[in-house]
A and B are shown apart, each in its own frame.
Chain A
Amino acid sequence: DSGVTQTPKHLITATGQRVTLRCSPRSGDLSVYWYQQSLDQGLQFLIQYYNGEERAKGNILERFSAQQFPDLHSELNLSSLELGDSALYFCASSVERGGQETQYFGPGTRLLVL
Chain B
Amino acid sequence: ILNVEQSPQSLHVQEGDSTNFTCSFPSSNFYALHWYRWETAKSPEALFVMTLNGDEKKKGRISATLNTKEGYSYLYIKGSQPEDSATYLCAFIAGNNRKLIWGLGTSLAVNP
B interface residues, how many (CB within 8 angstroms): 21
The stretch that binds A, out of B16-24, B75-83, B100-108, is B100-108
- B interface with A by C-beta (< 8 Å): 32, 34, 36, 42-46, 49, 51, 89, 91, 97-105
Return 24 A-B CB contacts under 8 Å, by A number: A2-B43, A4-B43, A42-B89, A42-B103, A43-B102, A45-B102, A56-B97, A90-B43, A90-B44, A92-B44, A99-B51, A100-B32, A100-B49, A101-B32, A102-B34, A102-B46, A103-B34, A103-B36, A103-B46, A103-B100, A104-B46, A105-B43, A105-B44, A107-B42
State whether A42 touches B104 (Cβ < 8 A).
Answer: yes
Tell me whether A2 and B45 are in contact in the complex, defined as CB-CB below 8 angstroms, given that A42-B105, A101-B32 are known contacts: yes
| Interface of chain A: mostly helix, strand, loop or mixed | strand
